[in-house]
Amino acid sequence: MDIEHFSIFFITTFLLVLVPGPSALTAAAQGASLQSSKAFIGVLGIASADLIFFGLSATGISALIVASSTLFSVIKWLGVAFLIYLGLSVLLSKASAIQFENKKIDARTGKLFRQGLVIQLANPKALMYFSALLPQFINPNEPLLMQLAVMALTLFLADCLVYSLYGYLGFHMARQKLKAWLIRLINRAAGLTLLFTGIKMAMLENHGS
């Protein structure tokens, strides 16, 4: 993967993870109730769930590459369309303030990890997102495993960074609200980035050409 493709992948992944959702609220709630170091266990659960979704998507995409370059190209263009649709959806979504509740949470390590894991696994949008995103950045003419390893590591680090940030916010903003304007700003940035990614991928020269 060249530096241009990697940069787009990193920024897009980071901003999409940043969009507030159930996993962000879980990380914030754990952070509001626990020390940041303890809440990080829940963050690892969320990141592990995303790696599972990533693995499922990568397995399917890899099979397409082996089976048919034409079919892979079709999926790639469907992915471009989905990224544009997803970008518009996030961009136009309405945002309201998020309350961080400082309530008691079971602090057992296994419980925290499972909570993060289950919350994220219950969000099938992540699977759809990875299935749409991966074909845009995979070069069928280069070693596949290394490309997937780089993207998986990037995703894991983005998850850990962003959800740790939500845990930190929860710890320091318990009983306060994350303002609606800030949530709108995050959504706008992520939506515009997804639109940019879809359009940019449609304009870039196909790897297989």
Which of these ranges, 41-50, 79-88, 176-185, has the smallest mean pLDDT? 176-185
| 50: amino acid identity, one letter | D
User: Token pair for residue 113?
Assistant: 């990890």
Shortest CA distance to 133 belongs to which of 48, 67, 53, 33?
Answer: 53
Instruction: Indicate whether 208 pLDDT > 50.
Output: no
CA distance 150 to 153: 5
Q: Write the pLDDT tens digit of every residue in 167-205.
A: 888 777 665 666 667 677 777 777 787 787 778 777 765
CA distance 36 to 30: 8
Q: pTM for the complete prediction?
A: 0.73
Shortest CA distance to 197 belongs to which of 96, 110, 80, 105?
Answer: 80
Which of these ranges, 39-53, 62-76, 99-113, 142-156, has the smallest mean pLDDT? 99-113
In terms of average pLDDT, the best of 15-24, 34-43, 85-94, 166-175 is: 15-24
Residue 174's pLDDT is 61
Contact 128, 55 (CB under 8 A): no
Q: For the chain, which residues make up each domain, given as ranges? A: 3-203
**Cα 147 from chain centre:** 17
- Residue 98's H or E segment, with its range, is strand 98-99
**Cα 140 from chain centre:** 23
The strand pairing partners of 178, in sequence order, are 98
CA distance 173 to 193: 28
Instruction: Indicate whether 98 pLDDT > 60.
Output: no
